Amino acid sequence: MRSLAGLAVLLLAGVVLSVVALLLTAHGAGSPSGTGRAGQPPLPGTGDTNSGGRGQPVSGVECHTFEQFAYHVHAHLHISLDGVGRPVPALIGIPGGQSGFASCYYWLHTHDQSGIIHIESPDRRTFTLGQFFDVWGEPLGRTQVTDVPVPDGEISVFLDGREYGDNPRQIALHNHTDVVIEIGSHRALPSAYRFPTGY
């Protein structure tokens, strides 16, 4: 009897893990293939958000047990260094997500390395790129972007295909906002990002 109970517990745990993995995969359906830009190793801070949000409110962005869908839109971020794309990490703003057991979901988060920022809050409000970087725990400015110090003048920021000259932290994230940050010697007007169907 005891062995049957133990087997039942193991089977139930396996089913729960499978369902969680399936839900995470399905919700992060915007994969880099086909619609994203080419990239190399991901930026620092992948997944665990140790240097950023770990459940506490960050720059006015809260972390709730469940995802919020009252206001649910998507923006996109692409970062390149000397012309080479650097994928934005998966699971920014989802503490515990790497283990398959997220402790909470920040109103700004990523599911995969496509660069899609999920904006999911309990009401309609305007968030900024600076708030997203604060949740990520990485610096953002014209002299430093994540772990990359920026030489004087060697940065171009594009907002929806047009060059943006102000502080990139102030960029408002709306539905289908497309932000490109190009650092270094190879900079050019980027092509528009194509959001996957349903985003």
The DSSP line for the chain is -HHHHHHHHHHHHHHHHHHHHHHHHHHT---STTTS----SPPSSTTT-TTS-SSS-BTTB-EESS---SEEEEEEEEEEETTEE-PPPTTTT-TTGGGT--S-EESEE-SSSS-EEEEEESS---EEHHHHHHHHT--BSSSEETTEE--TT-EEEEETTEE--S-GGG-EE-TT-EEEEEESS---PPPPP-PPTT-
Domain ranges for the chain, please list them.
Answer: 1-29, 41-183
What's the token pair of residue 102? 């997220």
pLDDT at 196: 94
Q: What percent of the chain has pLDDT over 70?
A: 73
Q: pLDDT, tens digit, for every residue of 26-52?
A: 344 333 333 333 344 555 544 555 678
> How far, in Å, are 51, 87, 168, 185, 192 from residue 137 at the CA level?
5, 16, 16, 26, 27
pLDDT at 42: 52
Supply the pTM of this predicted model.
0.77
Of 19, 185, 40, nearest in space to 113 by CA: 40
10-residue stretch averages of pLDDT, the chain, 199 residues long: 48 42 38 37 53 89 93 96 90 88 94 95 96 95 92 90 95 97 80 90
